[in-house]
Chains A and B, each alone.
Chain A
Amino acid sequence: MRRLNFLTGIIGGVLVAALFYVIARETLDQGSRTFVDTLTTLTGVGWVIGFWLGIGAFTGVGRWFIGKDQNHDDEMYLAGKDLGRARYWKYTTDHKVVGVQYVIVTMVLLAAGGILAMALRTELITPGAHFVNPQIYNAFISVHGMVMIIALIVAVAGPWANFVVPIMVGARDMAFPRLNALSLWTLVAAIPLLLGSLCVGGLSMGWVTQAPISEQAGPGMDLFALAIITFAVSTTVAGVNTICTVLTMRTKGMTLERLPIFVWSSIIAAGLGLYAFPFFLVVMALNIVDRTTGTSFFIASGGGTGWLQENLFWLMGHPEVYVILLPAVGALLEITTVFSRKPLFSYRTAVGGMAALAGLSVLVWAHHMFTTGWAPTLGGPFMLTTELISIPTGIVFLVILGTLWRGNIWMKLPMYWVFGFVFDFLIGGVTGIYLSDIPVDNQMHGTMFVVAHFHYVFVGSVLFGAIAALCFWFPKMTGRFLDEKLGKLSFWLTFVGVQVTFLSMFVSGLRGMPRRYASYAIIFEHTNFISTIGAYIIMAGMLVLLGAIIQSWRSGEPSGPNPWSSKTLEWLVPTPVPLENFEVLPVITSDPYTYGEELVNS
């Protein structure tokens, strides 16, 4: 157990994958239609199992099985005690280490997805084919989509539900520390599968893996689906952990009504994820089974139907939007109250709004299927539920505005991203209401208008929220400020870049430009050129941010334990946070947002 680390994980993964590959190649009928897919799938499964073995994920399980549990020393070692930097490369259970690991993994994912995005936008700079052929373009589209979706699912919940939530509720670690490490390293295991799908031909039908194209796609689809199954396991484990931590590990006096709003957003998102991701797992598993064993779930000629694929996918797909959005919104609310020096406006409405968002989000999935011909009579009801969801969304938005209203606003770096969010989310949200309207959707479906809409939500809103969270909690994680100058430069570049890219993309869409094509008609020339320029501006912003992160992490200005004079618990412990967070567990005597009031018991 003590020698295992990331490297042994990779070695284990490669070895077992090779073993599975050889066994499968020797035993399977090579003439069979399903041979390549089965071979690819088994090799991918081998990679995951081998990686788990090599990183040490099975060690605790094995010792449980034979009745020789890990002793206190083992646990301390696993938590990373006295291991220095090596603990970041190991199956470390300390939630703060896992938080840092998630920051790195998120950045890797964003970088991979970003590079693909730049390739796509570069291809689209003028009409006609340039440097990627249409097949590669489609593969890039699919993998860009899924890499970014996964990156954004973990962008806030991964780093901060791990790093700060346990401290926020007054706990010494997560409820199940080993599961915490499992969720992180399972996510890491999924990444090579996802990117590896590009190396075996990719897939051409976009991240939604539309059947029956997903049935006909090359072996890239097998690795893609396997990556998602692996990821679904990772998220489920993480979700259970977050919920259990908050429900059972709160310190004395930390009633549910005193939970910081970010904690609420984290558990609501985790609960919603537990509902959504089993569908993700099932739809991808059925796809693999169709491709490897001759079943016909999504194949009409065998009695299946592509609508089943779409239903299962979007039963996951829409709730997942809120799994992505809620933690970001929670972090933004947290930041808004700290930097407005005001209590959170209408705390209960905020919690209720987020819960209502989660509840309604499971009833809207078919708005992705308005134009597919599935159940036209249900169009009206689904249009209604989709439009209803704008109410809780608006409420949460108003909570931010209400908190800002007449606040004593302190314009530090995190606040820039909050205002960026307010601007972008308005555009992203309102265009969503357009699209929920069936007559409009009939025109807009499958156009760049939709792409611009959800990029305003994902890039302009969620990514801004994630960056705000990073700027806000960076001092707690590293003991240093994120450089304000570079950070603000990054903000302005990214903010301007988002408007340039996606406002003109709305115009492309309104004029009828279809999405997912490597080339386009001459009438879309100008708007696409502008979008591509905008994308380069976003890239510049992201590179500046990356530079700021690296520079500040190494030699930024020391921040002390509570640079923002914040009142939630994570700021009241020393920086760096001790291994078990609290010497003596605190007792809470008031709600977290007593800004502007005297401290009662300090």
Chain B
Amino acid sequence: MSVLTHDEHTTGGHHESPEVIDHRQRLGIWIFIAGDVVTLAALLFTYLYLRGTNTEGSWRSVVAFDFTGKSLAQAQNLIDNGTPGRVFEKAVSSGLNWAIVLAVAVSAALFAFGERKIREGSARTLVPVGLAASAVAVVAAVLAVIQMRSIPQFYFVQNDSQLFIHTAYGSAMLALSGALIIHLVLLAFLGVGIVLRSLNGAISSTKWTQVRLVRFFWVWVAISTLITAVVTTALQ
């Protein structure tokens, strides 16, 4: 390798320009998002694989005790004297599913709006809008928790083991909502962080590139929520 070690064009300073750093950070975020795309793909693969395999016809259906609407005493009586029957599982509410998509989309739009404002020079908008975006993300997370809790467990008896289980469908939905909640908590953290930073002057109308980085991730989470909802409502 031939090398010039004394090049007059090299400034010699060890500090890099903000543009260079921003370019690098943008690439970093995109690669992280690529990894997240694979994670989502693995979870959707799980959902579709379980649905397609439908082991012993048990997609949204399981041979178990159904306690829906039963009192504790009746439930106990069922366990002691009953035989488990095939219980069909209602799909997770589509309305709730789309409400989550809407909430995540609104939070992403709010954050993107704040980003646009600060790039246009109006730093004051970012604080309330960023807070609102984080709040809506938390709301979406709460909705996702409600969705998770709506997934039933069935009392299941096989050989010697007696346990509460989720069906394959319930399991896959749980994993998808769980992953979404983790993402939303992360977004809320990043959103509040951006707000605190702009209050402290670490982000301003001349230093806004981190807002864009967070926006990339935010929009990706919105897209991934949409993809998830399309798959899980179209193919229940």
Contacts and interface: CB of A to CB of B under 8 A. Distances in A.
Contacts of B170: 295
Nearest to A573: B5
Given A289-B174, A308-B53, A297 B168 contact: yes
A600 interface: yes
A526 interface: no
Contact of A584 (B5, B54, B61): B5
B53 A307 contact: yes
Contacts of A315: 42
Interface stretch (A62-70, A83-91, A135-143, A401-409): A62-70
B12 interface: yes
A591 B165 contact: no
Contacts of A282: 39, 42-43, 46
Nearest to A311: B49
A580 B12 CA distance: 12
A306 to B, nearest CB: 10
A584 B12 contact: yes
Contacts of A274: 31, 34-35, 38
Interface string A544-571: 0000000000000000000000011100
A315 B38 CA distance: 11
Interface string B1-39: 111111101101010000010011001100110111011
B78 interface: no
A349 interface: no
A569 B2 CA distance: 9
B167 A599 contact: no
Interface string A15-59: 000000000000000000100000000000000000000000000
A476 to B, nearest CB: 15
A601 interface: yes
Interface stretch (A241-249, A458-466, A477-485, A498-506): A241-249
A279 interface: yes
Nearest to A277: B35
Nearest to A299: B165
A587 B10 contact: yes
Contact of B169 (A279, A303, A567): A303
A30 to B, nearest CB: 16
A93 interface: no
A278 B42 contact: yes
Contacts of B43: 282
B196 A65 contact: yes
A278 B39 contact: yes
B122 to A, nearest CB: 19
B77 interface: no
Interface residues of A, number: 70
Given A289-B175, A589-B2, A302 B168 contact: yes
Interface string B47-64: 001100111101101100
Contact of B202 (A67, A236, A587, A591): A67
B3 A587 contact: yes
A175 interface: yes
A7 B28 CA distance: 31
Contacts of B172: 297
B174 A293 contact: yes
Nearest to A281: B39
Contacts of A303: 50, 54-56, 58-59, 61-62, 167-169, 171
B153 A66 contact: no
A275 interface: yes
A240 B28 contact: yes
Interface of A: 33, 64-69, 172, 175-176, 236, 239-241, 243-244, 247-249, 252, 258, 274-275, 277-279, 281-283, 285-286, 289-290, 293-297, 299-305, 307-308, 311-312, 315, 567-569, 572, 580, 584-594, 599-602
Given A274-B34, A300-B55, 15 more contacts: A65-B192, A176-B24, A244-B24, A244-B27, A247-B27, A278-B41, A285-B175, A286-B46, A294-B153, A295-B171, A297-B172, A303-B61, A307-B49, A586-B5, A588-B2
7 contacts: A240-B32, A277-B35, A294-B163, A294-B166, A585-B7, A599-B2, A600-B2
